[in-house]
Amino acid sequence: MNPMTRLDLDYHEAILYFAIGDSKTAIHVMEKAIDFSKENRLYYRIDDLYRLAAAEALMSHNKEKREYYIKKWKQYGEFADDRHSILAHELFQIMALIAEDHNYQHALQLINQYNLDSKDIGSFRFWFYLEKGKALYGLGLFKEALLYLKKVEIPENFHHPFDLSLFYVTDSYKALCYVELQKIDLALESAKIAVEKISPLPHTPYKEMIYNTYDKIKCKANKAKEAED
């Protein structure tokens, strides 16, 4: 088989396994493709493979692999002078700072380097809006967080469960902000929307977060109703 065809096959096989929730097989296929690229000194698909590997490591909370693949991804982006790869790498760094390190201030500093309304960053602005909303929520700035979370839209070309799961948490974060602002009805509504969106997708930490958020807010809403009665 032509090496480039084989890499295409391995990459698509890996993302399909991830899409149906078979992470173990997906990781095996993905790492096999990365090793094949190295052995044959091929850069074809390496950007996609590093992105996939970094996303999986972030979801599985594997800090060592996450840092390794993000570093490799950055090196590729600089070598290829690939603006898309460099932006995506920066975004993953921000996501890790928020989700794993809870370093919201540093994450905001990185986000604020960009003009989020600029055409130069294209659909990446929606990712940055989401991460800025998360960071502001983490800092207790709930009204400000909502302003950015309400700007988030899912890019039209996003169909993979990984990408959709990342975006569906937007409604959960809106719900969490509403809770802090004592707007329980709006919180429950947003939390329920997130559950409805993600329910058909395979399990991920994001799906777990969405369901947990809904359960907690529903419990809080029930207690509030009981207190009123």
**Number of domain units in the chain:** 1
In terms of Cα–Cα distance, which of 52, 15, 10, 5 is closest to 159? 15
pLDDT of 228 strictly over 80: no
pLDDT tens figures, 43-75: 888 888 888 888 888 888 888 888 888 888 888
Distances (CA, A) of 172 to 26, 51, 118, 119: 28, 25, 27, 28
As a whole number, mean pLDDT of residues 213-225 equals 89
* Domain of residue 184, residue span: 154-229
Stretch 122-146: mean pLDDT, rounded? 95
Residue 53 lies in a domain: no
20 confidence band (pLDDT: 50, 70, 90)? confident
Burial (CB count <10 Å: 0-12, 13-18, 19+), residue 69 = buried
Name all contacts of 139-146 with Cβ < 8 Å and 24+ positions apart: 139/104, 139/105, 139/108, 140/180, 142/177, 142/180, 142/181, 143/177, 143/181, 145/173, 145/177, 146/174, 146/177, 146/178, 146/181
Residue 173 in any domain: the answer is: yes
Task: Specify if 198 maps to a domain.
Answer: yes
Confidence band, pLDDT 50/70/90 cuts, at residue 135: very high
Distance CA 105, CA 221 (A): 31
Residue appearing with tokens 């096989």? 13
d(C-alpha 204, C-alpha 148), whole Å: 24
pLDDT at 199: 95
Asked if residue 143 belongs to a domain, the reply is no
Number of other CB atoms surrounding residue 175 within 10 Å: 26
Report yes or no on 124 lying in a domain. no
Question: Hey, is 59 helix, strand or coil?
Answer: helix
In a domain? residue 215? yes
In a domain, 62, yes or no: no
Q: Has residue 167 got a pLDDT over 90?
A: yes
- Residue that has been written with the tokens 């540093």 in this structure: 106
58 DSSP 8-state letter: H
Bigger pLDDT: 198 vs 23? 198
Task: Please check whether residue 87 lies inside any domain of the structure.
Answer: no
* pLDDT attached to residue 229: 62
pTM of the complete model = 0.85
Q: Average pLDDT over the chain, rounded to whole?
A: 89
